[in-house]
Amino acid sequence: MATLGVSTVTGQTRILSCIAPGELRLSTTSLGVCGPNEVLVKVLRVGICGTDIHAFAGQQPYFTYPRVLGHELSVEVVAAGSPRDLDMLGRKGYVIPYLHDPDSPASRRGKTNCCERLEVIGVHRDGGMSDFLVLPARHVVPSDLLDAEQLALVECLAIGAHGVRRSELRAGETAVVVGAGPIGMGVIQIARARGARVIVIDPNSQRLAFCREKLGVTEAVDPREHSVEEAVAALTDGGLADVVFDATGNPDAIARGFALVGHGGRYVLVSLVKADITFHDPEFHRREITLLASRNATREDFDTVTRLMEAGALAEREMITHRAELEQMPAVMAHWCAPATGVIKGLVHVND
């Protein structure tokens, strides 16, 4: 395997590529180059998220084919290209998959999550559905306390942590989370950790049950059974939400979410849709709603999640409902993407 100072790494690695919508292909290729300020990592686990599902379905707006999927990664560092990174060798960690330009205006303002020249591994460049991967050393964060499965879920939960931080949610405020998928579950858990009251909206009864049983949610609304606006109004004595978080990825749901925001409240769009969003401007102004986009996460959000994980304050393990080996994924992926399968978080085992 590679050693410090050797830039050309020899050997082969398996890669799982999405070569077209609905089609994954497992192949092998030569290992890449581990240069200065880079590390070679062995991929341990890969979490499957909405971005992967949308890319597989041909609905990801920033995606081109073919592409190696995978950005929710736990890894082990096996080689380093610079002396200062030697202390990372042999350590497990998570990956911050948002490769930013430190000299860009956004990055200089600390907004590395939405850098003008941002590249997300597994989206804009090949990701972690492979045995080995070369990454910038600064994007691999070692952890001696969390295991491989926990580390693979840090990025997913950091998305929720970033949205909550963007909202400036305070203890005692009411947060309505629309969409109880993995991202919404991250928002729920971080919001509750901040001391907020959380109301969850989702048409999937299994996910609402999971939120009640595993995440401590006591107020949940199924829009198939109730008018969401009337239900939220009844639960808040007419005041509606201090903050609404959309995690649906559904443009119609996003448009309807404006009606759930109380006067002076905030609306945070955590999900991304390939559509235009419209709202009724007079009502938007009457309530003086603050509208916020929330993209990716920063190191501060990752640190929030790892701190809560280490304290046992999150239910990250319970979110893992399905597991598969890398070589099984061409046959399994379509099944995992089907809502009836009941997947909350699928986890791909790549290496031990």
The whole-number average pLDDT for the span 258-275 is 95
What's the chain's average pLDDT?
A: 94
Q: Check pLDDT > 80 for residue 10.
A: no
342 shares its domain with 267: no
221 shares its domain with 100: no
pLDDT tier for residue 99 given thresholds of 50, 70 and 90: very high
Q: Considering its fold, how many domains does the chain have in total?
A: 2
Distances (CA, A) of 328 to 249, 277, 325, 349: 27, 38, 5, 10
Q: Cα–Cα distance between 87 and 219 in angstroms, integer?
A: 47
The whole-number average pLDDT for the span 260-289 is 96
207 shares its domain with 250: yes
146 shares its domain with 222: no
The whole-number average pLDDT for the span 109-124 is 94
State the virtual CA torsion across 107, 110, 114, 119 in degrees, nearest 10: 50
Q: Where are the beta strands (DSSP E) in 97-229?
A: 98-99, 119-120, 132-136, 140-142, 174-178, 197-201, 219-221
Domain membership of residue 144 as a residue range: 12-153+316-349
6 lies in some domain: no
Percentage with pLDDT > 90 across the chain: 89
129 shares its domain with 178: no
Q: Check pLDDT > 50 for residue 304.
A: yes
CATH number of the domain encompassing residue 264: 3.40.50.720
The distance from CA 77 to its chain's CA centroid, rounded to whole angstroms, is: 22
**Out of 84-88, 266-270, 325-329, 338-342, which region has the weakest mean confidence (pLDDT)?**
338-342
pLDDT digits (tens, 9 = 90+) for 140-174: 999 999 999 999 999 999 999 999 999 999 999 99
pLDDT tier for residue 102 given thresholds of 50, 70 and 90: very high
Q: Are 175 and 246 in contact (CB under 8 A)?
A: no
Distances (CA, A) of 244 to 97, 162, 260, 328: 27, 14, 7, 38
64 lies in some domain: yes
Q: Cα–Cα distance between 196 and 79 in angstroms, integer?
A: 43
CATH number of the domain encompassing residue 87: 3.90.180.10
Q: What is the DSSP string of 77-95?
A: EEEESSGGGGGGTT-EEEE
The whole-number average pLDDT for the span 59-77 is 90
Question: For the whole model, what pTM was predicted?
Answer: 0.94
pLDDT, position 178: 98
302 lies in some domain: no
Q: Check pLDDT > 60 for residue 3.
A: no
pLDDT, position 130: 97
72 shares its domain with 172: no
33 shares its domain with 136: yes
83 shares its domain with 142: yes
pLDDT digits (tens, 9 = 90+) for 129-148: 999 999 999 999 999 999 99
Radius of gyration of the chain (CA): 20
pLDDT digits (tens, 9 = 90+) for 16-47: 999 999 999 999 999 887 899 999 999 999 99
261 lies in some domain: yes
Q: Cα–Cα distance between 208 and 210 in angstroms, integer?
A: 5
309 lies in some domain: no
33 lies in some domain: yes
132 shares its domain with 171: no
